[in-house]
Amino acid sequence: MRVSTRFSDSVHILAFIEIYQDQRLSSELIANSIETSPVVVRRLMSTLRESGLIATKKGTAEPKLSKSPHEITLLDVYLATERAKQLFTLDTNTNPDCIVGGNIQKVLGSYYEDAKMAALRKFNNVSLQDIIETILVEQKAKEHNVQ
């Protein structure tokens, strides 16, 4: 299948909303930065709204973060966009009558869970503020190199 870029794009949207909070933030403008369609942006924003990360008003192009960027972590965004998606996928259709097929799902699944948790813990230690600040530093570095 196609690879999901929802998580990445959702972080993008949140950073964009914060950085350009003084401008008219239409889904079209945001879509232009992500290089996708406005509908995709609105759909992702629906999810972010349902998860309490942003507030929007129908008819007006004024989305706002519901919390300070210090209080939003990558984990919040991950959970909002990917829900309970398995990070490492088990083959859930193995032969239950075989010693291996009948037990591997539980066994591997538990190690998968450990690994996933290690990754998500990292995400819980990175805030949207961290992302934004790093983006701004990278941008300045880029501008500096040009001169």
Partner DNA sequence: ATTACTTGTAAAATCAAAAGTTACAGATAT
Partner DNA sequence: ATATCTGTAACTTTTGATTTTACAAGTAAT
For residue 71, report the phi and psi dihedrals to the nearest 5 degrees.
-95, -5
* Position 43 contacts DNA (CB under 7 A): yes
SS3 55: strand
Q: Per CB under 7 A, does 122 bind DNA? A: no
Q: How far apart are the first and last CA of the chain?
A: 43
Contact with DNA (CB under 7 A) among 64, 67, 70, 85: 85
Binding mask 70-109 for a second copy (x = CB under 8 A): ----x-----------xxxxxx-xxx--xxxxxxx-xxx-
Element (H, E) at 62: strand 60-65
What residues line the site for DNA (CB under 7 A)? 1-6, 9, 24-28, 36-40, 42-43, 45-46, 49, 56-61, 63, 85, 93
